[in-house]
Amino acid sequence: MNRRWNGWGNPQTEYPLPESARQYLERFMGTLASIPDAPYQDVLRQVPASGLPAHPGIDLRAQTRLAFARGQSLPDWIDLRYGRIRTFPDGVACPPDVPALRELIQHAYRQGWRIIPYGGGTSVVGHINPLPGDAPVLTISLEKLNRLVALDEHSRLATFEAGIPGPLLEESLAARSYTLGHFPQSFELSTLGGWIATRSSGQQSYYYGRIEELFAGGEVETAVGTLTLPPLPASAAGPDLRQLVLGSEGRLGVITRATVRIHPTPKAEGFYAVFFPDWQAGLAAVRAIAQTDLPLSMLRLSNAVETETTLILSGKSRLVAWARRGLGMLGYSDERCLLIFGVTGPADQIRRTRGAVQALCRAARGLPTGEFIGRMWRKSRFLTPYLRNTLWEAGIAIDTLETALPWSQVDLAAERIQKSIQEAAAERGEQALVFAHLSHVYTDGASLYITYLFRRSPSPDVTTQLWQAMKSAASREIVGLGGTISHQHGVGTDHAPYLAAEKSAPGMQILEQVFHAADPKQLLNPGKLIPTPATQSTGDDETA
């Protein structure tokens, strides 16, 4: 696929920003001004000479190294758009099969090269960025490892090469009337291996399960050999090594194959909307729904600011007018919140479940409004990331962060995290537009997803400092409240300083020792997830 070199997705895909939406955003943040991006050729000239020798399987060209230098985090965008990238991979390899990848890893390890696995390049926390250091960096792209290897219909297991992107994976299964059902917002570009390496969660995980429930086994190429994980339905044979691979972020090795639990293609599916008079009413309803074990596929509750902002950015002026006038006449003020819920399965089950959910919503003063908004959300759910391009070009930076907490903490956390971001921006003379939603729910708690928009500065340093202040303030609140530093984005480098608060000192020591056992030289994606000393080139004196 043709991809933007300094933004999200296909260059031919646009998400227009209506003039009414620009005016709405300016009311929050002040006058917006477009800031020119650094030209591609100027950034290309920054790529230094490679530290790797010529190799038939490694691309040393500057344009390739630039294309694989960064992911999709806000700091990555600042580097790319302002043209101030300071580190690049020294080469990029795209092995055609697993034996070639295995040989490449062994060769790189003998030479003392650092190795970064690369799936779809959608990381938002720094997973795939080369870090400063003396040892050369080899990025290994799995883009050619994208095949369906086997499908066991009796067991409902499918084995894929780990570089397969979401759309191709679903296309391969749909031809046999199956689905994996894993639909993160990055679905268009992200890969199966990346989902496993970061413990990803899809938008309909309530029905299909998070990736740790879908991942049955596979293979990982480590520095000390191939780690094979048989796809057993259950086992009491010691600790489950799959749980070490899940969320390992390339520190154990490169995931090459994965066997996943698949589902028959659902007979029917529907997405429905309910408005609540305020956030607390919506929270009460969602918690009640989650604790009844109804067969839903999704529950997404937006707070008042997100409800308003989402409708305005959609460009559906009639819908915005209806929400303001029609709902206003019914007593739903500016504090109204929107719930979208999804139901997947046989038509009669959908009908019964929809009725049960709507009854619980009505008991919490909710107003069901049918399928129109739900269909609109489903149609645009993978288009939304393109809004980042549009907003950036209008002079606005956008970032997200997320956590998960027990129900008893969710409301307090939503208030404090959003307030911390707004206060951090205000201290620097800016106004951030901050809003929240619950994106995944459980019987004991929920995932809280925060989005914040702020004006960019002509200076990349000022923009970075403002982002750091807001991100750090929010992260401190999350840790202080006992929430996870990441519900679905992983750790990378951005979240690494906060990991020990969740894992404890003994837990961090155990992780370090596990990674060292699989990677004695600490060359596999060093510095990600947990800190590692700067790696020096060790030459050819050791073998993998």
Query: Mean pLDDT, to the nearest integer, of 301-328?
Result: 83
**Residue range 463-492, pLDDT digits in tens:** 999 999 999 999 999 999 999 999 999 999
Is 484 inside any structural domain? no
- Mind giving me the DSSP string for 470-498? HHHHHHHHHHHTT--S-SSS--TTTSGGG
Residue 438's DSSP bridge partners are: 301, 448
Residues 157 and 252 in one domain: yes
The pair of three-digit structure tokens given for residue 422, joined into one six-digit string = 């707004």
Residues 189 and 281 in one domain: no
422: left (phi over 0), alpha (psi -120 to 50) or beta: alpha
- Mind giving me the DSSP string for 276-316? ESSHHHHHHHHHHHHTTT--EEEEEEE-HHHHHHHHHHTT-
CA distance 534 to 513: 17
* CATH code assigned at 115: 3.30.43.10
pLDDT at 540 over 50: no
Q: Which residue's entry shows tokens 């020798």?
A: 53
Tell me which residue of 532, 516, 535, 541 sits closest to 253, measured CA to CA: 516
Using the 3D structure, point to which of 381, 403, 434 is the last residue of a domain.
Answer: 381
**Residue range 53-94, pLDDT digits in tens:** 999 999 999 999 999 999 999 999 999 999 999 999 999 999
The predicted pLDDT at position 333 comes to: 80
The pair of three-digit structure tokens given for residue 411, joined into one six-digit string = 């409301």
Using the 3D structure, point to which of 347, 366, 381 is the last residue of a domain.
Answer: 381
| CB atoms inside a 10 Å sphere around CB 356 | 16
Is 389 inside any structural domain? no
Rounded to the nearest integer, the mean pLDDT of the chain is 94
Residues 54 and 78 in one domain: yes
User: How are strands ordered across the β-sheet holding 254-261?
Assistant: 148-152, 157-161, 254-261, 215-222, 225-229
The pair of three-digit structure tokens given for residue 511, joined into one six-digit string = 């992780």
- On whether the CB atoms of residues 488 and 184 are closer than 8 A, the answer is yes
- Supply the range of the domain harboring residue 273: 268-381
Residues 308 and 372 in one domain: yes
Chain length of the chain? 544
Output the CA torsion sign for 230, 235, 239, 240.
positive
The predicted pLDDT at position 320 comes to: 72
Is 174 inside any structural domain? yes
Using the 3D structure, point to which of 141, 161, 183 is the last residue of a domain.
Answer: 141
Query: Mean pLDDT, to the nearest integer, of 349-354?
Result: 95
The predicted pLDDT at position 533 comes to: 67
* CATH code assigned at 298: 3.30.70.3450
Residues 235 and 299 in one domain: no
Q: How far is CA 234 from the centre of its chain?
A: 28
Residues 94 and 161 in one domain: no
* CATH code assigned at 210: 3.30.465.10
Residues 257 and 153 in one domain: yes
Residues 166 and 186 in one domain: yes
CA distance 77 to 74: 5
The predicted pLDDT at position 542 comes to: 36
Tell me which residue of 240, 168, 251, 206 sits closest to 520, measured CA to CA: 251
CA distance 436 to 407: 15
Instruction: Identify which has the larger pLDDT, 540 or 322.
Output: 322
| CB atoms inside a 10 Å sphere around CB 368 | 17
The predicted pLDDT at position 188 comes to: 97
pLDDT at 544 over 60: no
CA distance 200 to 210: 7
Is 25 inside any structural domain? no
Largest CA distance in the chain: 78
Residues 238 and 156 in one domain: yes
Residues 256 and 278 in one domain: no
Is 448 inside any structural domain? no
359 CB-near residues (< 8 Å, 6+ apart): none
Tell me which residue of 83, 88, 93 sits closest to 66, measured CA to CA: 88
Residues 100 and 207 in one domain: no
Is 425 inside any structural domain? no
Q: How far is CA 439 from the centre of its chain?
A: 12
Is 417 inside any structural domain? no
Residues 130 and 167 in one domain: no
pLDDT at 398 over 60: yes
**Residue range 335-351, pLDDT digits in tens:** 999 999 999 999 999 99
Is 512 inside any structural domain? no
**Residue range 252-278, pLDDT digits in tens:** 999 999 999 999 999 999 999 999 999
DSSP β-ladder status, 433-441 and 445-455: antiparallel
Q: Which amino acid is at 333?
A: S
H/E stretch holding 178: strand 178-179
The predicted pLDDT at position 330 comes to: 74
The predicted pLDDT at position 55 comes to: 96
How many structural domains comprise the chain? 3
pTM above the 0.85 mark?
yes
